[in-house]
């Protein structure tokens, strides 16, 4: 897998060949459909390169040859030196992701009016997903610029309870939850696999429960 993708990344990056690799190794079928329908635009090419690059980065390469004592010592002594670059590379990755998301959103907004109705719905849900991700990434970048530390991803942080929200925050959260419920209801209806069906059902139930709680607090 990594050899095929690396070969493509280091070649002329033929767009149709890249799409075949994306279909084979990437899981986001909605994005794959958008890349295929949107064609080989500059933004779509960047997106395809970025997504396939992510796949290669996540491939675990095992080296069965024993490390020499000298190499082990070098790794240990350089551990401290690698901590700062790791933090810097973390924020640089976030900034890179942010740029890609901006470009992808620009592209989706540009093609949205020219697609068939059923395609517009899929693109609209994709825009919502990308917009949520962009807000999360931007918030983490702002935190880094203020405090010098990249905060963990939202899934690793416990969400504030509804009882801790102000009225304005409750209203905003209610609107967001209604969007999520509508989105996952549609995704559940169109789901093609048992795994995705279970995933969408779990998320839909979670958002419905939270929406009920938030709505009840607003009416107190």
Q: How confident is the model at residue 209 (pLDDT cuts 50, 70, 90)?
A: very high
The rounded mean pLDDT for the chain is: 76
Contacts of 195-198 spanning 24+ positions with Cβ under 8 A: none
Query: Is pLDDT of 67 > 60?
Result: no
Token reading at 151:
């905060």
Residue 58: pLDDT band with limits 50, 70, 90: low
CB 115 within 8 A of CB 37: yes
97 contacts 137 by C-beta, under 8 angstroms: yes
Of 121 and 172, the structure prediction assigns the larger pLDDT to 172
**Length of the chain in residues, anyone?**
220
- Contact yes or no for 130/108 (Cβ under 8 A): yes
What does the pLDDT read at residue 213?
A: 92
In the chain, domain spans? 158-220
Q: What is the pLDDT of residues 132-191, one digit of tens each?
A: 888 888 888 888 888 888 887 765 445 667 788 888 888 888 888 888 888 888 888 887
């Amino acid at each position: 897998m990594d050899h095929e993708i690396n070969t493509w990344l280091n070649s002329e990056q033929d767009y149709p060949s890249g799409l075949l690799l994306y279909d084979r190794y990437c899981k986001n079928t909605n994005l794959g459909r958008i890349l295929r329908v949107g064609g080989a635009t500059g933004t779509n090419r960047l997106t395809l390169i970025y997504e396939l690059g992510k796949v290669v980065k996540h491939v675990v390469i095992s080296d069965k040859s024993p490390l020499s004592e000298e190499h082990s010592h070098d790794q240990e002594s350089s551990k401290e030196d690698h901590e700062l670059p790791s933090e810097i590379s973390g924020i640089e990755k976030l900034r890179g992701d942010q740029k890609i998301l901006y470009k992808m959103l620009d592209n989706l907004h540009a093609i949205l009016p020219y697609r068939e109705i059923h395609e517009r719905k899929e693109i609209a849900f994709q825009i919502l997903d990308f917009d949520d991700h962009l807000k999360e990434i931007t918030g983490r970048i702002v935190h880094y610029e203020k405090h010098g530390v990249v905060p963990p991803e939202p899934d690793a942080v416990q969400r504030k309870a509804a009882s801790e929200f102000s009225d304005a925050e409750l209203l905003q959260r209610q609107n967001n939850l209604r969007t999520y419920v509508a989105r996952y209801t549609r995704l559940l209806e169109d789901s093609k696999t048992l795994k995705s069906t279970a995933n969408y059902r779990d998320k839909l139930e979670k958002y419905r429960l939270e929406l009920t709680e938030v709505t009840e607090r607003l009416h107190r």
